[in-house]
Amino acid sequence: MSVPTVVTRDAHPSVLNLIGQTPLVRLQPFERGLNGVELYAKLEWQNPGGSVKDRAAARMIADAEADGRLTRDRIILDATSGNTGIAYAMIGAACGYRVRVCLPSNASPERRRILAAYGAEVVLTSPLEGTDGAIREAQRLYAADPDRYFYPDQYNNPSNWRAHFDTTGPEIIQQTGGRLTHFVAGLGTTGTFVGVGRRLREWNPRVQLISMQPDRPFHGLEGLKHLETAMVPGIYDPTLADRNVHVATEEAYRMVRRLARAGVLAGISSGAALAACVMIARELRDAVIVTIFPDSADKYLHDRLWDEEDEPGQGEP
């Protein structure tokens, strides 16, 4: 007996068509004690690859296909802390491309398993060198055999920030009804902050743009860079932010646990983003702050942060 194929009007022709239009949620439990400040987060793990990096990876690949830099005989190669690599791997599996990523060996086991599940080849690099070591290894592999690879180079590829200029920024404006007054985002490749920031600045120059990064070189905030001591991405625009704040790993971990108790199972960089938002919000009155939650906690469930205990009252939103 054959089973008929049912196609609903909401069906998408490709998993890639599910990228974008992620929900914006209000974080009311974290607004207590604030002076009329509203906090919102864009849940980017609703993208099919599970993170905000789906947007940039899809745009970098699409632009390279359009101008002939990416052809079927080339392997997609790049350095990653995990999420962009997963996005490449998902897109590669969907579109028939081989993918090779250079990844620090201390990346979470969940990330490595997801990459393997999609069929990507992983080249592990020194954990002491972080993403900078992965970048150097990707550059070495590409230089040794440039005809074999398409090297998007996410840290220096303008398609990275343009993805957010064209999609994430307009979505935030629409979803807030144009009410936002402040935008907060972490710095990794810096593509999200630069792309959204430039779009918001073009739309309303009065919107305050706040960037966030770890407070020290050796930190536990996967995906984020301490720019003072790291290789600065070529797409980073140091003139864009109205303010830059630093967040401690321990505070980000505490916020991740608080989010979970509030029903939002968010990743570590999301906890850092919320910590930065609360820091800024305490100085404001009647503001609307929007941030990005890059991924969920499903890639960090092995982490020791879940074994730590907060002081009485700290675990409550």
| DSSP conformation letters of 231-273 | PPPTT--TTS-SEEEEE-HHHHHHHHHHHHHTT--B-HHHHHH
Name the residue among 190, 184, 257, 260 with its Cα closest to residue 224: 190
pLDDT at 7: 41
pLDDT category, 220, cuts 50, 70, 90? confident
- Ordered structural domains, the chain, with CATH: 15-50+168-307 (3.40.50.1100), 53-150 (3.40.50.1100)
Average model confidence (pLDDT) for the chain?
92
Q: How far apart are CA 143 and CA 124, in angstroms?
A: 18
The per-residue pLDDT for range 15-42, each reduced to its tens digit, is 899 999 999 999 999 999 999 999 999 9
Stated as kind and residue range, the H or E segment containing 101 is strand 99-104
The residue-averaged pLDDT of 113-130 equals 95
Of 2 and 237, which is predicted with more confidence? 237
Residue in this structure with the two tokens 């007054």, named with its chain if needed: 181
pLDDT reading at 263 higher than 50: yes
The per-residue pLDDT for range 183-205, each reduced to its tens digit, is 999 999 999 999 999 999 999 99
Q: How far apart are CA 225 and CA 187, in angstroms?
A: 6
Torsion of CA 255, 259, 264, 269, to 10 degrees: 0
Q: Please pick, among 53, 108, 159, 211, the residue that the annotation labels catalytic.
A: 53
pLDDT reading at 4 higher than 60: no
53 is catalytic: yes
The per-residue pLDDT for range 56-107, each reduced to its tens digit, is 999 999 999 999 999 999 999 999 989 999 999 999 999 999 999 999 998 8
**Contact between 102 and 81 (Cβ < 8 Å):** no
pLDDT category, 251, cuts 50, 70, 90? very high
Q: How far apart are CA 141 and CA 100, in angstroms?
A: 10
270 is catalytic: no
Residue in this structure with the two tokens 């490595």, named with its chain if needed: 112
Residues 6 or more apart from 19 whose CB is under 8 A from it? 47, 48, 49, 54, 55, 58
Q: Collapsing DSSP states into helix, strand and coil, what is residue 104? A: strand
Q: Among residues of the chain, what percentage have pLDDT more than 70? A: 93
Q: Please pick, among 51, 81, 108, 269, the residue that the annotation labels catalytic.
A: 269
- The terminus-to-terminus CA distance of the chain in angstroms comes to 54
